[in-house]
Amino acid sequence: MLDDDPRTRLALALDVDDLVVALRLARRLRPWFGVAKVGLELFGAAGPEAVSALLDEGYQVFLDLKLHDIPTTVSRAARVLGGLGAAYATVHTQGGEAMMKVAVSGMAEGASAAGASAPCVLGVTVLTSDVDAPADALASRSRLAAAAGCGGLVCAASDLAVTSRAAPGLLTVVPGIRPSGVSTDEQARAATPGAAIAAGADILVIGRAVTGAEDPEAMAAAVASEVASSMAKRRG
C-alpha cells in the first residue's frame, strides 16, 4: 500500500457533513493526497456512498469509524464495512483482543464476499485529544492489536517510541498533524509533519490544517514537501 510517493503517506481528513463539499475538497487536493479519511461525520451524512465516491476519484479510503462494541455486533458491522472497498478501517483497542479479532476476520469476510481486498485494520490506541497517554496503556493496547491480527495502529507521534517497541512491524498512522504556526485546535498531542515522519510514522492524517487554510493548495504542497524531505532523511 505504501511506496516512495508522498501521497501514499498523506491522508486527507474530510471531516464535513456534505458529500458534495467533501468531493470538492478531494478533487482540489488530489495532487498531494493519496488517501481520503471518511470519519463519523461524513459517513453519518452520506453513508457507504462516501466511500465509493472517493474510490472513483482515485483515492484509497481510510474508513475511520473506531468500532467498539460487543464482539457479535462488531463482527456483523465489520462484514458490512469490509465489502465497501476501503484500504484502511479502525477499531478501538479498548474493546479488547476478542473484539478486534472478529473485526479483522469480519472485514476480511466482507471484502471476500464483495470481491475486494481486505482492509488493513488499525487499532486506535489513545486519542490525540487526550492530554495523557500512559506508556503502560499504549504498550498493552498495541500488543493486543498485534495479537488480534490488526495490521496497524493509530497513535500520536509522541507515542511511537512506545508502540513501535510493543508491536514492531505494524503500520503506524498518526493523526493530530499540525504544520508549524497552525493552531493545534483540540489536539493535545500534536506534531509537525516532519517530526512525525522522523519519529517513525508511516501515514499522516491531516484535515483542518489544510482544508481550513486560506490557500489549501499551497498548504498541501508545503506539507507534501516537508514529508518528502523527512522521508528522504529517514531512508538516508
pLDDT tens, 199-225? 999 999 999 999 999 999 999 999 999
15 within a domain of the structure (yes/no): yes
* CA distance linking residue 81 with residue 71, whole number of Å: 15
H helical segments located in the chain: 19-29, 40-46, 48-56, 71-82, 97-114, 135-148, 160-166, 193-198, 208-211, 216-235
Percentage with pLDDT > 70 across the chain: 96
H helical segments located in 115-177: 135-148, 160-166
Q: How far is CA 47 from CA 33, 113, 131, in A?
A: 22, 20, 31
Mean per-residue pLDDT over the chain, rounded:
94
- pLDDT attached to residue 187: 57
Q: Which residues are catalytic?
A: 66
The CATH number covering residue 37 comes to 3.20.20.70
pLDDT surpasses 80 at 137: yes
43 within a domain of the structure (yes/no): yes
Handedness of CA 115, 116, 120, 122 (dihedral sign): negative
pLDDT bin (cut points 50, 70, 90) of residue 184 is low
Report, as an integer, the average pLDDT of 97-101: 98
- pLDDT attached to residue 222: 95
* CA distance linking residue 145 with residue 129, whole number of Å: 21
Taking each helix axis from N to C terminus, what angle separates 97-114 and 71-82, rounded to the nearest 10 degrees? 30
CA 114 and chain centroid, separation: 23
pLDDT bin (cut points 50, 70, 90) of residue 72 is very high
1 within a domain of the structure (yes/no): no
- pLDDT attached to residue 155: 94
- pLDDT attached to residue 132: 78
Report how many domains make up the chain: 1
- pLDDT attached to residue 33: 98
- pLDDT attached to residue 185: 60
pLDDT surpasses 60 at 186: no
- Which structural domain range is residue 96 located in? 6-235
* CA distance linking residue 96 with residue 145, whole number of Å: 8
- pLDDT attached to residue 1: 60
